């Protein structure tokens, strides 16, 4: 989503500069071209060399230090950027910009900018609430600037309240959503995603489950939203925050997930089953907590409904994608599952791998398609892997419609 995008970071003087280091690194890893301007105050917190190393580009701190005699730096940077982000934006910088003051490299460049400018404030809660600061924010908003509102929590000054610079991961999600509007190839498509584990009760306090966290499924749901789709997320228990804009259906058991998926299947265009559904459940669940006893205890299990198999039987116009979390013979099991379940694609990964198992931020998957094609993807973030899966699903959807 961010590959090749030109993002200019204007960094001003606040303790939250350290978060901008993480943001610069993450944007660069995602393929964005990042350039950095720092105010003099910002350099008191973090040396420009840090951002030079993270962005792989020169860092600009002085309006009069022209690094390339062929161009005027602050004009060239303003023209270069696809998007400009100011953060941590101090009350001082916000005030200067609202009143057209250009007395350093940051404000001079911002006044020359024609691309969209986002401002991410960070300051003491009382400073943020001051009428002058709020008036300046409103002035900039009226000018067309947009804001990434600060979060609430413990501040460096010791106060607890609104004023924390938003976390880098959330800022990146906003940026990805912004750029995704240029390429919304899933517009007018309804995508159903299952995510997370299921739980099968033994008694009121015990259950069987698995190690799935839902990260892969939530990433698929978020990327589908970014690409313009209407998204239904059927999720088992997870600590993750569901993507904003998705219709979320929370379930616990395999039976509940089956019912939720079937309720929406007929009106769905693409189904992506990332959920790790329990294959078995106890024959019956005890009404009260089972007390500890001497000797062995055994539990009889029965099969749960095979959701993917049932979807394959009922498939009409849908693109049906399943996941295969394996520990051995990944290709064989994935291809067997593809044929048996009448799926259009199986996404397989080895969950024993430390970088692509449950709960990781990355995944190394292979895509096995109904037409015999096999695509082995490199190690990617789960968001990047989700995009690749959705891109292939869209291509397959076009083939089906033809």
Using an 8 Å Cβ cutoff, are 197 and 358 in contact? Answer: no
Residue written as tokens 């962005």? 55
Using an 8 Å Cβ cutoff, are 194 and 273 in contact? Answer: yes
Using an 8 Å Cβ cutoff, are 217 and 274 in contact? Answer: yes
DSSP E strands, 90-189: 116-121, 146-147, 151-154, 160-164
Rounded Cα distance, 170 and 14, in Å: 19
Q: Is 10 a catalytic residue?
A: no
Nearest to 325 by CA among 363, 373, 270, 361: 363
Please tell me what DSSP assigns to residue 197: B
Using an 8 Å Cβ cutoff, are 388 and 380 in contact? Answer: yes
Residues whose CB falls within 8 Å of the CB of residue 64, separated by 6 or more in sequence, listed in order:
none
Per DSSP, helices labelled H in 144-204 are 168-180
Residue 337, annotated as binding a ligand: yes
Residue written as tokens 């393929």? 31
Nearest to 25 by CA among 53, 5, 44: 53
Task: Classify 309 as helix, strand or coil.
Answer: helix
Residue 358, annotated as binding a ligand: no
Residue 341, annotated as binding a ligand: yes
* List 72, 125, 127, 157, catalytic entry: 157
Residue written as tokens 């880098």? 168
Residues whose CB falls within 8 Å of the CB of residue 185, separated by 6 or more in sequence, listed in order:
227, 228, 391, 394
Residue 336, annotated as binding a ligand: no
Handedness of CA 363, 220, 390, 228 (dihedral sign): negative
Peptide bond preceding 88: is omega within 30 degrees of 0, i.e. cis?
yes
Which segments are annotated as binding site for CTP?
279, 289, 323, 337, 341
Residues with active-site annotation: 157
Which segments are annotated as binding site?
279, 289, 323, 337, 341
């Amino acid at each position: 989503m961010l590959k090749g995008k030109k993002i200019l970071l204007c960094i001003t003087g606040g303790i939250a500069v350290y978060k901008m280091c993480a943001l610069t690194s993450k944007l660069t890893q995602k393929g964005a071209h990042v350039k950095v301007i720092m105010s003099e105050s910002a350099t008191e917190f973090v040396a420009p060399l840090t951002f030079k190393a993270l962005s792989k580009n020169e860092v600009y701190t002085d309006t009069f230090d022209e690094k390339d005699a062929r161009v005027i730096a602050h004009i060239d940077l303003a023209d270069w950027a696809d998007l400009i982000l100011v953060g941590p934006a101090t009350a001082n910088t916000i005030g200067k910009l609202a009143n057209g003051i250009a007395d350093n490299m940051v404000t001079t460049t911002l006044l020359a900018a024609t691309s969209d400018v986002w401002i991410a404030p960070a300051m003491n809660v009382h400073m943020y609430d001051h009428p002058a600061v709020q008036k300046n924010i409103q002035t900039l908003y009226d000018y067309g600037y947009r804001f990434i509102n600060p979060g609430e929590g413990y501040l460096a000054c010791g106060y607890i309240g609104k004023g924390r610079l938003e976390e880098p991961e959330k800022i990146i999600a906003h940026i990805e959503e912004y750029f995704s509007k240029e390429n919304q190839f899933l517009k007018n498509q309804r995508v159903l995603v299952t995510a997370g584990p299921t739980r099968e009760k033994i008694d009121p306090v015990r259950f069987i489950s698995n190690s799935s966290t839902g990260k892969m499924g939530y990433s698929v749901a978020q990327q589908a939203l970014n690409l313009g789709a209407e998204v239904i997320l059927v999720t088992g228990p997870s600590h993750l925050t569901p993507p904003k804009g998705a219709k979320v259906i929370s379930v616990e058991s395999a039976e509940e997930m089956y019912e939720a998926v079937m309720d929406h299947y007929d009106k769905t265009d693409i189904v992506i089953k990332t959920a790790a559904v329990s294959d078995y459940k106890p024959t019956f669940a005890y009404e009260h907590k089972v007390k500890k006893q001497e000797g062995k205890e055994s539990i009889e299990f029965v099969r749960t409904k095979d959701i993917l198999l049932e979807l394959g039987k009922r498939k009409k116009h849908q693109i049906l994608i399943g996941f295969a979390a394996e520990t051995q013979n990944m290709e064989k099991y994935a291809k067997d599952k593809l044929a048996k379940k009448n799926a259009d694609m199986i996404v397989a990964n080895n969950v024993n791998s430390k970088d692509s198992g449950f709960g990781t931020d990355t995944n190394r998957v292979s895509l096995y398609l109904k037409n015999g094609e096999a695509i082995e993807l490199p190690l990617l973030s789960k968001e990047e892997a989700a995009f690749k899966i959705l891109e292939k699903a869209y291509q397959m959807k076009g083939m089906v419609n033809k």
